Chain A
Amino acid sequence: MRSPSPAAWIRRALPTRRRAVATAAVAVLLVGAVVWAVRPQGPDVRTSSAMLTVRSGPTGDEPVDLDTTLYLPADASDGNKVPAVLLAHGFGGTKESVRSDAEEFAGRGYAVLTWTARGFGRSGGQIHLDDPDHEVRDAERLLDWLAARPEIRTDAAGDPAVGVVGGSYGGGLALLLAARDQRVDAIVPMITWNDLSRAFLPESTGKDATQGVFKSGWAGLFFGGGGSVGTGPAGISGATGAQPEGAPESAGPPSPGPGGGPGTGPGAAPARAADPSCGRFAADVCAAYLRIATTGRADQAAVDLLRRSSPAGVLDRIKAPTLLVQGEADTLFPLTEADANARGIAANGTPVRVAWFTGGHDGGEGPQTDSDRVKFLTVQWLDHYVKGEGDAPGDDFTWSRIAGFDALDRGLVATGYRTTDYPGTAGTGRRDVVVAGPPQPVANPPAGNPAAISSVPFAGELSSLLGGVAGDIPGQHARFESAPLPDAVDVVGAPTVRIRAASATGEAVLFVKLYDVDPNGAATLPNGLVAPVRLTGLPREIDAAQPVTVTLPGIVRRIEAGHRLRVVVATSDQAYATPVEPAVHTVALADGVVGLPTVDGEPIPTAAVVWRWVLAGLLAAIVVGLVVVVAVARRRNRRQDTSIHPAYAGTPLAVRELRKEYADGFVAVSNVDFDVHPGQVVGLLGPNGAGKTTTLRVLMGLTQPTAGEIYVFGHRLVPGSPVLSRIGALVEGPGFLPHLSGLDNLKAYWRATGRPWADAHFDEALEIAGLGDSVHRRTKNYSHGMRQRLAIAQAMLGLPELLVLDEPTDGLDPPQIAEMRRVLQRYATDGRAVLVSSHLLAEVEQTCTHAVVVNKGRIVASGPVEDIVGESPSVLFEVSDPAAARTLLDGLDGVRVLPDTDGQLVVDTNGTARSEVVAELVRAGIGVDRVVPRRRLEDAFLALVGENSRGSGDR
């Protein structure tokens, strides 16, 4: 019985030298892979910052300092000229706001020039709102500067190959620059305006900006320099918060102060004394703002000023291919702005492509899939039109819709769609939904307080998308609702609705909104978008009111089946300036039809599709792998050697040249060679650790031998050989399920063999076990001896032809041992055989017909027990007179009396017959009581293995 000692276990678990090397190599590889994967990835670009002085202004001779940084790909040089990108930042930002985008473009082989627009950061000058004489002319001078650089590719002398990219304020600049300077080869304006006066003074029935409702929330934010304004989809942004001024790359002196927005602090102002009410805004812009903000109305002069800064009037001069990217979550520059730009530019035959994404001034960059799509489109556009690589991008229209929340990142998920032609905000199809409700009175609150909340500029992407902030004030709004929609509608574009209004004042400012109401009554205002209208010439009575068509802001939304549409007409909105005087209007629907534009598009395949194929491939590979493995295993099974070695066909067990060497180099057995023939009870004898158990483990197929063969009835035995089913075994002690009774354990074992129930011979086995009623008790309550007997019974189940028992009498009491002896001797009949391993000599001597003596892993003797014991020459005599006998026997020729041991007479007859010796004794008158041959296995065993008691197994 040998269970691995803790020391051996630890020795085996400890790494050998070879294993240590392998483990170390794997560890190094893993660490290396991790370091490689997480290393800070800086694209290989060179940067140089400089304060450039350019001459611009209406006359082109007013100097202004611009803080610039040029990003060059590492391989750009005089000999390897690269195309350029002029990258403009958003309002309130600096060149640092776009650094990561600049680095990315530079990594793609473009020289990127970023600069801080005049009036911001450390650049000089004042803010003129992308005025053609100021900001736009500044950019023209930058093109001149680019053309002069030796690394920049040129189309002609002084004409660099350049694209202009920018978001919001930067996007406006891109459009205006392309209209003014034909050297621009392509532009990508993002989330920007078409008509600045309409953006800030919208009127949704199509009236002029002078009639518009002032978007005071956004305007105040810009003018007051409330912070970051406008994050483009690809991160092309005006975010000031992200990058501190004077970031590491800036070469110039430290900034005098936080140069964030205009008018934020005295330090931001240039040398000249700043007007505290205007900050860094140019005087004319400031004056216009102050006039509009005071009255809530724009005069023609203010509108004209804003129009100078708008692409609307100069679109016909834009010849550079234009990729327009606009945000759906944008209450500042809604989708209609990009729509107007697209129509205006396309009218001249200039290639235009439009893409909508789910971010915007309210929604930020949008989900990852969206910013990836926009980045892809941008790079594709520049590569083709500026760098001259890749196929023409085409003019198909792509958009996306918020599909829900990402379960893992807790962010939003968008689904992209595309269609071949840009449909505009009117869509390609139209779905009419009837909304109903009686005419309702609505009150205009004095000074616009309290006001309904539709959107909060920069409240974060989630607030507007969730509709969490939307709220209408009771008494100040009218509601018109539809029945639940029978099926879902995918709205893409600007819905329309016709309303009527009456007022005693003859004039009303109203805000029309379209809510999506779910079956539980929760209402969502898509992206917080509202349509402000200013109605004039209204009658006193509603019956006399004329219908007007209100174009609601463009949305992309799926209205689920079972949801209702709700049109709300409110008198106030936090984000807008409303009339100060209190009044009560009456609002009604004209025809109660909401027209929902739709566009047929196909979903853009995303990475998800690729992953699906990967999954399918993986599953297929696993199935194929399984089939191959099973086929190979079957084939190997079929080709398994089923031949019978003729020499051993009738031998229950033949072990040949067996050798087992463990992984740690310990040789457990070597050259073990013995047979077990039918009818034999063979004892495998040896001291502890001699290799008996190892031999039996190999014999049971638990362990692979290092060399040698085992034949059972001529069949070669390997782990799992079917012929093992003809062997019953007890190896290394019993192994039972502790929670089952003895009988159930035997049954469970037999079930596992899958053999017929009748072949088990339970009755015989149980009789051998002799457990009586205890057989129904759980084995965990058994004594050692009971378990041992049960294990022997289990080994005998099915009456196997070879019974292998390892230390079978361990734990048995003497009567049981005696019984066991008889059982084993009886068992080894009918062609069966028994192999017993033991270190108890008496047991082997009394039980076995044959013995194999093993010591230190080698066989030292084998054969019939008698042979091993040998015909011992020594005989023990018990006589009446030992002294006389000793004298007599000493005189006999050849006979030697051994030294006296315990008063006994031990004689080495040395060839003389015992009968002759007895006769001599009797003749001499000495009485002989007993003659016992000193024939003991112990002597033989000790002679074979040596008497040294220590270390027989400890090699």
Chain B
Amino acid sequence: MAGSTREETAPGTGGGPAGPAHPSGAAAGYRPSATMPFVAEFRRQASRRRTQLALGFMVLLPLIILIAFQFDTGDDDDNGRGEFGSLIEFATSGGLNFTLFTIFVSASFLLVVVVALFCGDTVASEASWGSLRYLLAVPVPRARLLTVKLLVALAYSALALLLLAGTALLIGTLRYGWEPLRSTVAAQLEPGEGLLRLLMVLGYLAVVLLVVAGLAFLLSVTTDAALGAVGGAVLLWILSSILDQITALGAIRAFLPTHFSTAWLGLLSTPIQTDDVVRGTISAVAYATLFWSLAYYRFTRKDITS
């Protein structure tokens, strides 16, 4: 018997400082599934000024609104915005109503910009810095890079939404008290029930914003200009909103990604109207899936030339 229990690794490499440890030829300690850990990417984004500013503004906005309400002179002008104008009138009637108002004024634009920022900037900025090619040369598998980037961007988007609502709820409750949720469209809701409705509203909003996330992410992998991806997503969103105002388009409007963006108001009525919420969810999920699929398809095949 030769008695040899060890075989020499590939000739000429055995003496290397980091000889191969894997049949795939990878360096010692390298595993594709271990590359670009979620936490690392989360910290990478957290260190960026735009992340800190965006999240900070989410905390600041409810405070600004609260201070603005302190200037209320009591002249009760009719807001003239139909049944949902009551959201404004009732804004100071309790913490829940204050939170609802804050969401109401942020949902149509501010949150769209914030989500577009997190999801549109994430890949494009790496490309513009030139660091994307080094990540791919690590190598971080492209699908994994996209998945981690997307999950982190979504996590920050969700965090922004929760920070906005959480801060508003906290300072609103401290200032106006833990009161039932009021509106003219529904019976008064007890605080517990009201909080549940609020969470449902936040959930639906998060789903609707998936469209923005998808669009921004798709643009992010197709361009090297972070501003282009963020701005493009916001612009397209605004375009869709404008088209949605044109009733002459008829049934086509239901296919616009923004058509159901205000359906969350139905969650405030009694009983809850989920019809449009369900359709809005279908629309948002379908669009987001489409955009993300395109993003993955494009990114896993494209030549990185930046």
Are B36 and A407 touching (Cβ within 8 A)? no
Cβ < 8 Å to A, chain B residues 162-200: 182, 185-188
Tell me how far the C-beta of B284 lies from the nearest C-beta in chain A, rounded to whole angstroms.
Answer: 10
Q: Tell whether A801 is near chain B: CB-to-CB under 8 Å.
A: yes
Are A732 and B133 touching (Cβ within 8 A)? yes
Please indicate which of the listed interface residues B187, B188, B262 has the most CB atoms of chain A within 10 Å of its own CB.
Answer: B187
B185: which of A405, A723, A727, A800 is its contact (CB, 8 Å)?
A405
Q: Which residues of B contact A798 (CB under 8 A)?
A: 18, 27
Q: Tell whether A547 is near chain B: CB-to-CB under 8 Å.
A: no
A713-721, A812-820, A883-891, A939-947 - the one binding chain B? A713-721
B20: which of A700, A726, A832 is its contact (CB, 8 Å)?
A726
Q: Which residues of B contact A518 (CB under 8 A)?
A: 187-188
Q: Tell whether A241 is near chain B: CB-to-CB under 8 Å.
A: no
Cβ < 8 Å to B, chain A residues 712-771: 712-715, 719-727, 729, 731-740, 744, 748-749, 751-756, 759
* A37-B251, A644-B25, A753-B35 as given contacts; A714 in contact with B138, CB under 8 Å: no
Q: Tell whether B105 is near chain A: CB-to-CB under 8 Å.
A: no
Are B25 and A712 touching (Cβ within 8 A)? yes
Q: Tell whether A703 is near chain B: CB-to-CB under 8 Å.
A: yes
Q: Which residues of B contact A752 (CB under 8 A)?
A: 35-37, 40-41, 135, 138, 140
Are A408 and B82 touching (Cβ within 8 A)? no
Cβ < 8 Å to B, chain A residues 370-421: 403-408, 410, 413, 415
Are A611 and B279 touching (Cβ within 8 A)? yes
Please indicate which of the listed interface residues A518, A722, A755 has the most CB atoms of chain B within 10 Å of its own CB.
Answer: A722
- B282's nearest neighbour on chain A, judged by CB, is A615
Tell me how far the C-beta of B276 lies from the nearest C-beta in chain A, rounded to whole angstroms.
Answer: 5
Are A722 and B26 touching (Cβ within 8 A)? yes
* A649-B10, A712-B25 as given contacts; A403 in contact with B133, CB under 8 Å: no
The CA-CA distance from A309 to B14 in the complex, in Å, is 109
Q: Tell whether B48 is near chain A: CB-to-CB under 8 Å.
A: yes
A754: which of B37, B188, B260 is its contact (CB, 8 Å)?
B37
Are A753 and B252 touching (Cβ within 8 A)? no
Chain B contact surface mostly: loop
B48: which of A563, A644, A739 is its contact (CB, 8 Å)?
A739
Q: Which residues of B contact A800 (CB under 8 A)?
A: 18, 27
Are A736 and B129 touching (Cβ within 8 A)? yes
Are B36 and A619 touching (Cβ within 8 A)? no
Q: Which residues of B contact A34 (CB under 8 A)?
A: 252
Q: Tell whether A612 is near chain B: CB-to-CB under 8 Å.
A: yes
Residue-wise, chain B 263-306 has the 8 Å CB interface mask toward A (1 for contact) of: 11110011101111011011001100100000000000101111
B16: which of A662, A737, A801 is its contact (CB, 8 Å)?
A801
Tell me how far the C-beta of A12 lies from the nearest C-beta in chain B, rounded to whole angstroms.
Answer: 9
Are B263 and A407 touching (Cβ within 8 A)? yes
Please indicate which of the listed interface residues B34, B266, B278 has the most CB atoms of chain A within 10 Å of its own CB.
Answer: B278
Q: Tell whether B132 is near chain A: CB-to-CB under 8 Å.
A: yes
On chain B, the number of residues with a Cβ less than 8 Å from chain A's Cβ atoms is 86
Are A723 and B25 touching (Cβ within 8 A)? yes
Residue-wise, chain B 44-73 has the 8 Å CB interface mask toward A (1 for contact) of: 100111000000000000000000000000
Q: Tell whether A650 is near chain B: CB-to-CB under 8 Å.
A: yes
Q: Tell whether A781 is near chain B: CB-to-CB under 8 Å.
A: no
- A38's nearest neighbour on chain B, judged by CB, is B250
Are B273 and A403 touching (Cβ within 8 A)? yes
Are B270 and A404 touching (Cβ within 8 A)? yes
Q: Tell whether B203 is near chain A: CB-to-CB under 8 Å.
A: no
Are A408 and B129 touching (Cβ within 8 A)? no
- B22's nearest neighbour on chain A, judged by CB, is A722
* A37-B250, A37-B251, A702-B304 as given contacts; A560 in contact with B187, CB under 8 Å: yes
- A779's nearest neighbour on chain B, judged by CB, is B129
Q: Tell whether A614 is near chain B: CB-to-CB under 8 Å.
A: yes
Q: Tell whether A247 is near chain B: CB-to-CB under 8 Å.
A: no
B138: which of A560, A563, A753 is its contact (CB, 8 Å)?
A753
Q: Tell whether A901 is near chain B: CB-to-CB under 8 Å.
A: no
Chain A contact surface mostly: loop
Are A723 and B278 touching (Cβ within 8 A)? no
Are A734 and B143 touching (Cβ within 8 A)? no
The CA-CA distance from A619 to B284 in the complex, in Å, is 11
Q: Which residues of A contact B10 (CB under 8 A)?
A: 644, 649-650, 713-714
Are A622 and B285 touching (Cβ within 8 A)? yes
Q: Tell whether A220 is near chain B: CB-to-CB under 8 Å.
A: no
- B83's nearest neighbour on chain A, judged by CB, is A405
* A38-B250, A723-B25 as given contacts; A407 in contact with B276, CB under 8 Å: yes
* A37-B251, A714-B10 as given contacts; A702 in contact with B137, CB under 8 Å: yes
The CA-CA distance from A701 to B141 in the complex, in Å, is 10
Q: Tell whether B28 is near chain A: CB-to-CB under 8 Å.
A: yes
The CA-CA distance from A754 to B28 in the complex, in Å, is 11
- B44's nearest neighbour on chain A, judged by CB, is A748
Q: Which residues of A contact B40 (CB under 8 A)?
A: 748, 751-752
Q: Which residues of B contact A562 (CB under 8 A)?
A: 187-188
* A406-B273, A560-B270 as given contacts; A740 in contact with B12, CB under 8 Å: no
Cβ < 8 Å to A, chain B residues 137-151: 137-143
Q: Which residues of B contact A37 (CB under 8 A)?
A: 250-252
Are B13 and A735 touching (Cβ within 8 A)? no
Q: Tell whether B134 is near chain A: CB-to-CB under 8 Å.
A: yes
Are A739 and B26 touching (Cβ within 8 A)? no
- B48's nearest neighbour on chain A, judged by CB, is A739
Q: Tell whether B80 is near chain A: CB-to-CB under 8 Å.
A: no
B24: which of A405, A642, A651, A734 is its contact (CB, 8 Å)?
A642
Q: Tell whether A948 is near chain B: CB-to-CB under 8 Å.
A: no
Are A703 and B12 touching (Cβ within 8 A)? no
The CA-CA distance from A833 to B263 in the complex, in Å, is 62
Tell me how far the C-beta of B22 lies from the nearest C-beta in chain A, rounded to whole angstroms.
Answer: 7
Are A720 and B136 touching (Cβ within 8 A)? yes
Tell me how far the C-beta of B223 lies from the nearest C-beta in chain A, rounded to whole angstroms.
Answer: 10
Cβ < 8 Å to A, chain B residues 107-154: 129-143
Q: Tell whether A627 is near chain B: CB-to-CB under 8 Å.
A: no
Are A611 and B275 touching (Cβ within 8 A)? yes
Q: Which residues of A contact B12 (CB under 8 A)?
A: 649-651, 678, 831
Q: Tell whether B74 is near chain A: CB-to-CB under 8 Å.
A: no
Are B275 and A754 touching (Cβ within 8 A)? no
Q: Tell whether A900 is near chain B: CB-to-CB under 8 Å.
A: no
Tell me how far the C-beta of A414 lies from the nearest C-beta in chain B, rounded to whole angstroms.
Answer: 11
Are B282 and A831 touching (Cβ within 8 A)? no
* A697-B305, A754-B37 as given contacts; A410 in contact with B82, CB under 8 Å: yes
* A715-B24, A752-B36 as given contacts; A725 in contact with B275, CB under 8 Å: no
Are B260 and A408 touching (Cβ within 8 A)? yes
Tell me how far the C-beta of B21 lies from the nearest C-beta in chain A, rounded to whole angstroms.
Answer: 10
Q: Tell whether A949 is near chain B: CB-to-CB under 8 Å.
A: no
Q: Tell whether B2 is near chain A: CB-to-CB under 8 Å.
A: no
Q: Tell whether A915 is near chain B: CB-to-CB under 8 Å.
A: no
Are A729 and B279 touching (Cβ within 8 A)? no
Cβ < 8 Å to B, chain A residues 805-849: 830-832
Q: Which residues of B contact A563 (CB under 8 A)?
A: 187
- B275's nearest neighbour on chain A, judged by CB, is A608
Are B28 and A615 touching (Cβ within 8 A)? no
A832: which of B16, B48, B185, B269 is its contact (CB, 8 Å)?
B16
Please indicate which of the listed interface residues B82, B129, B252, B264 has the most CB atoms of chain A within 10 Å of its own CB.
Answer: B129
Q: Which residues of A contact B15 (CB under 8 A)?
A: 830-831
* A404-B186, A615-B278, A752-B40 as given contacts; A831 in contact with B16, CB under 8 Å: yes
The CA-CA distance from A715 to B26 in the complex, in Å, is 10
Are B271 and A749 touching (Cβ within 8 A)? no
Are A701 and B136 touching (Cβ within 8 A)? yes
* 12 CB < 8 A contacts A-B: A4-B305, A415-B271, A520-B182, A702-B305, A713-B20, A726-B27, A729-B137, A732-B130, A755-B28, A759-B29, A798-B18, A831-B15
Please give me the 3 A-B residue pairs with the lowest Cβ-Cβ distance, nearest first: A735-B130, A650-B12, A404-B269
| A interface residues, Cβ below 8 angstroms from B | 4, 34, 37-38, 403-408, 410, 413, 415, 518-520, 560, 562-563, 606-608, 611-612, 614-615, 618-619, 622, 633, 640, 642, 644, 649-651, 662, 678, 697, 700-704, 712-715, 719-727, 729, 731-740, 744, 748-749, 751-756, 759, 794, 798-801, 830-832
